[in-house]
Amino acid sequence: MGEEVKFHGMWASPFSRRVELALKLKAIPYQYIEEDLSNKTPSLLRYNPVHKKVPVLVHNDKPVAESMVIIEYMDETWENNPFLPRDSYERAMARFYAKFIDDKLLPTLAKLGQTAGKENEETIEEIHEQLKVLEDELKGKQFFGGQRIGYLDIVAMILVWLHLAGSITGQKILSTEKFPLIYEWIERVMKMEVVNECLIPEEKRQDWIQLAQRAPKSASN
Amino acid sequence: MAGELVLLDFWPSPFGMRSRIALAEKGIPYEYREEDLRNKSDLLLQMNPAHKKIPVLIHNGKPVCESVIQVQYIDEVWHDKAPLIPSDPYQRAVARFWVDFIDKKIYELGSKIWKTKGEEQANAKKEFIECLKLLEGELGDKTYFGGESLGYVDVALVPFYSWFYAYEKCGDFSIEAECPKMIAWVKRCMQKESVAKSLPDQEKVYEFILQLKKVFGI
Q: What is the mean pLDDT of residues B47-66?
A: 97
Q: Does B208 touch chain A (CB under 8 A)?
A: no
What contacts A214, CB < 8 A, 6 or more positions away?
A: none
Q: CA-to-CA distance for A145 and A129, rounded, in angstroms?
A: 21
**Chain A residue nearest residue B99, CA to CA:** A69
User: Which pLDDT tens digit goes with each residue over B80-127?
Assistant: 999 999 999 999 999 999 999 999 999 999 999 999 999 999 999 999
Q: Tell me the percentage of chain A whose pLDDT exceeds 70.
A: 95
Neighbours of B217 (CB within 10 A): 5
Top-tier CATH class for B89-216: mainly alpha
Give the residue from A88, A102, A104, A136 with the most B CB atoms within 10 Å of its CB, the best one to mutate.
A88
The reported pLDDT for the residue numbered A208 is 87
Confidence of residue A218 (pLDDT cuts 50, 70, 90): very low
In chain A, residues with a C-beta closer than 8 Å to the C-beta of B76 are 88, 91
| Position A173, amino acid | I
Lateral strand order in the sheet of B56-59: B31-34, B5-9, B56-59, B62-65
pLDDT digits (tens, 9 = 90+) for A169-206: 888 888 899 999 999 999 999 999 999 999 999 899 98
Q: Tell me what pLDDT residue A209 has.
A: 85
Output the 3-class SS for A75-112. HHHCCCCCCCCCCHHHHHHHHHHHHHHHHHHHHHHHHH
Question: Which CATH number does B5-78 carry?
Answer: 3.40.30.10
Inter-chain residue contact A99 with B69, CB threshold 8 Å:
yes
Closest by Cβ to B69, choosing from A64, A77, A96: A96
Domain residue spans of chain B: 5-78, 89-216
Residue B82: what pLDDT?
96
CA distance linking residue A167 with residue B36, whole number of Å: 45
Residue type, A108: T
Tens digit of pLDDT for each residue in A77-129?
A: 999 999 999 999 999 999 999 999 999 999 999 888 777 788 888 999 999 99
Residue B11 pLDDT class (50, 70, 90 cuts): very high
Res. A215 pLDDT band, cuts 50 70 90? low
A23: pLDDT confidence band, cut at 50, 70 and 90?
Answer: very high
Please give the Cα distance from A76 to A83 (Å, whole number). Answer: 9
All domains in chain A, ordered by first residue: 5-77 (3.40.30.10), 88-214 (1.20.1050.10)
Backbone angles phi, psi at B212, to 5 degrees: -60, -40
Q: Quick one: residue B110, left, alpha or beta (phi over 0 = left, psi -120 to 50 = alpha)?
A: alpha
User: Which chain B residue shows the shortest CA-CA distance from A133?
Assistant: B50
Angstrom distance (rounded) from CA B11 to CA A113: 38
DSSP string, B122-174: HHHHHHHHHHHHHHHHHHTT-SBTTBSS--HHHHHHGGGHHHHHHHHHHHT--
CB contact B76 to A (< 8 Å): yes
List own/partner pairs for A127-133 with CB under 8 A and 24 or more apart: A127/A173, A128/A173, A128/A178, A130/A100, A130/A104, A130/A105, A131/A105, A131/A159, A131/A173, A131/A174, A131/A178, A131/A179, A131/A182, A132/A179, A133/A97, A133/A100, A133/B50
Residues on chain A touching B69 (C-beta within 8 angstroms): 92, 95-96, 99
What is the share, in percent, of chain A residues with pLDDT greater than 90?
80
Set of chain A residues whose Cβ sits within 8 Å of the Cβ of B66: 95-96, 99
Degrees, nearest 5: CA angle A212-A217-A219: 60
* Distance between CA atoms of residues B128 and B126, nearest Å: 5
Residue of B nearest to A89 (CA): B73
Closest residue, chain A, to B102 (C-alpha): A50
* Residue A201: DSSP 8-state: P
Q: Is it the case that residue A217 has pLDDT exceeding 80?
A: no
The C-alpha of A181 sits at a distance from chain B's nearest C-alpha, in angstroms, of: 19
Nearest to A72 among B59, B69, B96 (CB): B96
Q: Which of B174, B173, B199 is nearest to B186 (CA)?
A: B199
Q: Say if the Cβ atoms of B77 and A104 lie within 8 Å.
A: no
Minimum CA–CA partner of B49 in chain A: A133
Residue B101, min C-alpha distance to chain A (Å): 9
First-to-last alpha carbon distance for chain A, in angstroms, is: 31
Measure the CA–CA gap between A182 and A133, rounded to whole angstroms.
11
> What pairs with residue B65 in β-bridges?
B56
Please say whether the beta carbons of A157 and A21 come within 8 A.
Answer: yes
